[in-house]
Structures are given as structure tokens and as C-alpha cells.
A and B are shown apart, each in its own frame.
Chain A
Amino acid sequence: MSSSARRQALTANLLSRMPLWREADARARRLALGHLDEASDAIRLAQDYRLLAHDLARVRTLLPGTRTREYLEGAYARAHVTLHRGAWRADRALISLFRDELPAAVRWLLPYILWCTAIFILTVLAGYALVHEYPELIGLFASPELIATVERGQLWTEGLLNVVPSSVLSVQILTNNIVVTLFAYCAGILFGLGTLYILGLNGLMLGAVFAFVGQHGLAKQLFSFIVAHGCVELSVMCLSGAAGAALGEALVRPGPGGRSESFRIAALRSGKLLGACALLLVGAGLIEGYVSPNPRFSLATRVVIGVGYWLFMLALLSGRLFPRRHTVS
């Protein structure tokens, strides 16, 4: 018997397994959509996967460039993706994110957090010193309306609730803060310079405005306004700056895997922090809308709220909000 005849026989036998391929493909499609008839279907998928792999290897040799190969490649790929999709539950994934992945990301980012906090504090001091020495420079950091209000001996936050309801104010503030935080992170793609720019600019503005209101005897009122929401809001600014700086360093000093791989690893690790930052900013926005502009809250109450929320942030970032259950053997 010639080799071509044997090849023909093998091909015929392969094609005779078409019903098995169709069955396997249908099962993979059903499972991919979550339509599970029986538990045995899931077990059968593993067998299907081996069957399809075997037959595909033969088809690649015997029938290259045919529709049979294309079909089998697709069926095999679908079985692979379905099989590797695994069991998944949103609640467990979220708990795992907050209990394990987030604290790990924070530990990895700790040096960046410390550096970014130091840079932020330095820029606050620099902004303060600049406007303290040269008051006319406040025009670089604040709007003419804000300057005029302070020069009249008032804070721009006074009577804010008479203009905008707390709920509207909260949503506007938290949306703005989240966008700024995410931009500070994403700007790390400019080799970290974008992140440092946003971080530095915010620090300079804060210091400059504090110096300016201090010159008009309003520093205590501004502190009283900021303290309830600012502890977390400013910390989140440093956290997102740290995440952006990590991205930047991955691009400036890539590891052995190359720039693209380093960027991916840094983004995946640090990106987890951003979800927590966004959640924390929702709370900070609500405080800024309901507590900060409300004169009925005393300074002590505001400090308690601010420090309490900041401690909550620490517990969230360290994973202590979702401790593991210890089993007794």
C-alpha cells in the first residue's frame, strides 16, 4: 500500500470524527454561556479538549490550509478558553481583591508612596513659602474670584450650601476628584513626569492657598473646612501619584522582560490600588458635600471624622477590613 493511500485512510478516519468535534464544540459553547446541563458536561469538556488537541495536530499535518483545519482550530481555541475560564464568582473575586491583592499592591508600592508623600509635602511647603514671600504670586495658583473673596475676609466655601445642595456638591466633587486621581495615575505613562506634574501642581496650589488665606487671617477656617475630607483626599492623591510613579519607573527602568512587560506588571499591580482610591474618594466627596461646608459641625467633630476616615483607609489598604477566618484543627 502506498504512503498516499495510507494518508488518505488517515484523513478519512479523522473526518469520521466530525460528529465528535461538533458535539465537543457545542458543549464548549454551552459552558461558555454558563448553560450547564449536567456536572458531567464540565468533566467531558476536559476529555473533549484532549480529543480536539489530538485531532488538530493530525489535521495540521494532513489537511493544512483547509476549512476543516480552520473549523478545528476554532473549536479547539473555544474549548481552551472555556476550560481556562474556570469557576468565578464576583463576590469572591472582590473579597480576594480587597483582602489579598490590595494589601500586596500597597506593600509593593510602599517606597513609591513614601517618595510621593515626601514630594507632595515639599511642594506644599514650596507653595506656602513662595506666596508667603511673594504674595502677588497667588495669581499663578488661584482664580481671581477666589482671590477677591479672600481679600474681602471670607472663604469661598462660606455659604456654599446656600448655592448648591450637599448631594449635588458631593457628586460634583467626588467625580472631579476621581477623574484627577485617575489622570494622575495614567499620566505615569509619560515616564512618570505627568504624574509628578499633577502631584507637584496640587501640592503647590494647596501650600499657596494656605499661605494666602493665612495672610488674611483665615487659615483656621480653611483648616476646619479641609480636615474632615482632606486627610483621605490628600492621602489618595499621594497613593495615585505612587501608582503613576511605579508605571513611570517601569518605563524608564524596565526589567529583564522588556519595557512592555515591565509596564504591564507595574500597571496590573498598581492598578488595583486605583479601585480602592475611587471608593475612598466617594466617601471623601460625601464628607466634603455634607460635613465640610456645614457650619453646624465643630472643629473637634471634623477632626474626629477626618482622622476616623483616614484610619478606615489604613484598615482597607492593609486588608484588615476583610480578615481571614482562622479554622480550628
Chain B
Amino acid sequence: MSARLPELTVDSVTGIDVALPVAGAGARAYAFLIDWVIRLILGLAWYSVATVVHNGDLSLALPSQTDARWFVAVVAPALAIYFLYHPVLETLMRGRTPGKRMAGVSIISRDGSAPGVGALLTRNVFRLIDSLPLFYGIGLIAVMATHEHRRIGDLAAGTLLVYDTPASSTPAAAANPAAHARFDVVGVELVSELLERWPLLTSQARCQLALQLLARQGLKTDVSSGADEATLHAQLERLVASSAPRSA
């Protein structure tokens, strides 16, 4: 078993709460670094290609004096790619970026839903504070100091970063599930609960419920409605036993 990660517990309409593993400073830094490399490469690529096109040859030489066309076509888009990467991609990809996807994390609201445009923009505005004084110093301190590893932007936007994928792979416990697939789990649960409450029920209730459950499992009963309880009890126990795993 892996070490337990801090979890965000979200209420669900099913009544079964959802546990979302919260990403810490390491996963955040990993995703940020990937994104940083991507936006740097994209920005430099634009700058290089646009400069070559602008100069009309293969040189990357800067213009000798401030040139409006060069600035608008080369510098401004490259800066826009670099600085607008996070707000634009997080909005379009709904809380993800290529770096976050590769790191297996995504941004969610505290209720487990995808964050809205306003929340994502607010989160990005506060990068100004989180990035102070250098290398996301304030953001890093906030992530380490808060229970759910949230930077100031997350606190403001009501968001947090969670892992997309569970820590474990598919369990091998059900090596041969087909061998146990004869009965549905709800039916077996009901039979099991009936057997547990058997002594507390009246004779009529025992027989009625037992017959209903056996019929639900599609089994023909070899007793009539007036059958003795012992036969029905034995039949129910056989049903539960037959659904148990068989030793190899």
C-alpha cells in the first residue's frame, strides 16, 4: 500500500462520499516545470520563426532600431504565448494544461466539479502574489502551510489540485471473476442479511422473504409456500456458500 495522501472529501448525491487525493508541492512543481518548458519552447519557436520570416533570411539578428512591425509580429506574440499560456489553456482545457495532464493532476472546485471561467481567471491573477519574491516563494509556502496544499490563487478561487489517477493499478484479487458471477451481489447481500436476522423474524416473514429472494435469484424452490423453515434456511445458506470463492 502506498502512503496515504491528503484527501478532499466531497459529498455525493449517492450518499457515498468521494475521496479525491490532493496533489502536493512536488506534483505541482512537476506540472509547472513541464508547462514552463512547453511555453518557453513555444515562445522561442515563435520568436525564431517570426524573426527569420521578418528578416527574410536565416539570421536571428535584432533590428538596428525599434521596428514596430518586428515588435508586433515577433516580440508581442512570443510574450503573449509565454504569459497567457496558463490562463488560456486552463480555461480551454477546463482546469488542465499539458503539464498537468502529464503530471496526472487537474484543477477542481472544492465540490469536486470543474472550475468555472471566473475561478480559473482569478486563480491565475493571483500568480502575481504567489510568484513573489522569486520562484513562486509565497505560493510554495502557502502550499506547504495549508492542509489541502493550496496556494493563494487556489484559496481565492476555491480550487485545488487533485490527482487524476488512483495510486493503485487494477487489483488482481478477482483473478477469475467469471467463476463467481453466478449471483448478483445485491441478491447475495440480501440473503446474507436475511440469514443474520433470521432468529428475529416471525415464521411467516422468514418464509415469505426467503421465497422472494430465491425467486429473485432465479432459483426454483423445491418447497411450497407452506414449506418448513429449516429447508428454506438450508437452501439460502447453500446459495450464499455457492457464491463464495473456491479454493484452487
User: Which A residues are within 8 Å of any B CB, using their own CB?
Assistant: 1, 3, 5-19, 22, 32, 49-50, 53-58, 63, 65-68, 70-71, 73-78, 80-81, 84-86, 88, 90, 93-94, 97, 101, 164-168, 171, 179, 182-183, 185-186, 189, 247, 260, 263-264, 267-268, 271-272, 274-275
Contacts and interface: CB of A to CB of B under 8 A. Distances in A.
B155 A264 contact: yes
B166 A73 contact: yes
A111 B240 CA distance: 69
B196 A16 contact: no
B129 A189 contact: yes
Interface string B64-83: 00111101100010000000
A9 B169 contact: no
Contacts of B106: 81
A70 B16 CA distance: 15
Given A17-B177, A88-B114, A168-B66, A58 B129 contact: no
B44 interface: no
B116 to A, nearest CB: 7
A177 B244 CA distance: 71
14 contacts: A5-B241, A8-B245, A65-B1, A67-B168, A76-B18, A84-B113, A85-B94, A86-B114, A97-B117, A165-B71, A167-B71, A264-B157, A267-B155, A275-B118
A15 B173 CA distance: 7
A168 B245 contact: no
Interface residues of B, number: 73
A209 to B, nearest CB: 26
A275 B240 contact: no
Contact of B237 (A1, A81, A86): A1
Interface stretch (B30-38, B120-128, B204-212): B120-128
Report, nearest first, the 3 A-B pairs whose CB atoms are least far apart. A74-B166, A271-B122, A267-B156
Q: Which of A8, A76, A268 has the most CB of B within 10 A?
A: A268
Interface of B: 1-2, 10, 12, 14-16, 18-21, 66-69, 71-72, 76, 91-92, 94, 106, 108, 111-114, 116-119, 121-122, 125-126, 128-129, 152, 155-158, 162, 164-171, 173-174, 177-181, 183-186, 188-189, 192, 195-196, 237, 240-241, 243-245
Contacts of B121: 271-272, 274-275
B116 A93 contact: yes
Contact of A58 (B10, B180, B189): B189
A237 B110 CA distance: 32
B2 to A, nearest CB: 8
Nearest to B76: A171
A71 B170 CA distance: 6
Contact of B119 (A3, A58, A164, A268): A268
Contacts of B174: 15-16, 18
A68 B168 CA distance: 8
A22 B171 CA distance: 11
Contacts of B181: 16
Contacts of B188: 9-10, 13
A70 B243 contact: no
